[in-house]
Amino acid sequence: MRYLIFTGTSGSGKNTAYQFLADRGYFAVDNLPPDMLGRFCESSLNQKGDVSVAVCDARCGEHVRDLPAMIERLRSDGKSAEVFFLDADDATLVRRFQETRRRHPVMEEGGGSILDAIRYERNLLYATREIADKVFNTSNLSPSELRSEIADVLEIRTEKWLRITVESFGFKYGASLDADLLFDVRFLKNPFYEPKLTHLTGSSPKVKEFLHQDSDVREYSKRLFEFIEYLLPLYQRSEKAYLTIAIGCTGGKHRSVVIAEDLHQRLQDLGYQTSLHHRDITCTSSDQEATL
């Protein structure tokens, strides 16, 4: 197990680092007191993956001075504890706090002003900075640039990390509320009006075959898939972590299911992390499905 411990001055970007790693599925804990590091490591063993992230900083007050000793204890026990210290120059930290109007966590202990709090915090963290494996100076980094630096240092694979949910639904039960991209396929041939297919769903090979034989379905699927393949790298470039693609037909049982399953398989074949959800495939209603 690889244990990543992030620390540093307030306003230097620790929350950006934490959210970046948590969004990528790592077991991550924010604002962890140093004396809880041992329990954190024990809990990590019950989590998925082989990387765990803890953020320990001056929000715990004077107790942060114990952090170097706790890290040394982990290392002496044979644990792979890596320390990453985030910092920025005083002027940058002061500006960031003024822009966000947030209270510095050691304002009272530091003497009352933001600059005094920053200097007091540096004193609390001095010993930890000395043992850090890597110091990130974020003074001139945007959040995006910081995430990129962290990914490079930790050798995190960022391409195709976007988590995609493909969802089918029926418009008569309401449009998908959490969709980032929504596509209406009610114009396609409707298997509902085929007596042998009415009571089946789009997961049935017979329904799939019926729709795949239609030239409009094939052409629409081709163009839809090409469009989505074009969009996904752009979403990844913007560092979006999750994307929901919703496909809707009238009842959510036939056409949307087939297109959603085809899209899901296509994206998996391309290496994307994709899950499939049929929202309305089991819904029952007295309403008859109608074509447009």
CA distances from 260 to 108, 125, 253 (A): 56, 52, 11
Least confident of 78-82, 161-165, 216-220, 248-252: 161-165
Distance CA 226, CA 279 (A): 24
Distance CA 202, CA 71 (A): 55
Between 166 and 283, the more confident residue is: 166
- Residue 182 above 90 pLDDT? yes
Q: Across all residues in the chain, what is the average pLDDT?
A: 91
Residue 185 burial (CB count, 10 A): 23
Tokens read off for 119: 């200097």
Go through the chain and tell me how many residues it has. 292
Q: Could you tell me the pLDDT band of residue 160, with boundaries at 50, 70 and 90?
A: low
Looking at the chain, the domain(s) classified CATH 3.40.50.300 span 2-154
Between 17 and 102, the more confident residue is: 17
Q: Which among 228, 83, 237, 234 is positioned nearest to 158, based on CA atoms?
A: 237
Tokens read off for 46: 């019950």
pLDDT digits (tens, 9 = 90+) for 87-118: 999 999 999 999 988 889 999 887 778 999 99
Superfamily per CATH, domain 2-154 = P-loop containing nucleotide triphosphate hydrolases (3.40.50.300)
Q: Could you tell me the pLDDT band of residue 252, with boundaries at 50, 70 and 90?
A: very high
- Residue 292 above 50 pLDDT? no
CA quadruple 209, 277, 235, 4: dihedral, nearest 10: -130
- Residue 240 above 60 pLDDT? yes
- Residue 9 above 60 pLDDT? yes
Between 161 and 206, the more confident residue is: 206
Query: Of all residues in the chain, what percent carry a pLDDT higher than 90?
Result: 74
pLDDT value of position 290: 42
Distance CA 99, CA 144 (A): 18
Average pLDDT over residues 151-166: 80
- Give residue 150's identity as a one-letter amino acid code: I
Average pLDDT over residues 35-62: 91
Least confident of 40-49, 163-172, 268-277: 40-49
pLDDT value of position 158: 60
Tokens read off for 203: 């997961």
Average pLDDT over residues 129-137: 95
Q: Could you tell me the pLDDT band of residue 289, with boundaries at 50, 70 and 90?
A: very low
pLDDT value of position 86: 97
Average pLDDT over residues 199-220: 96
Residue 137 burial (CB count, 10 A): 14
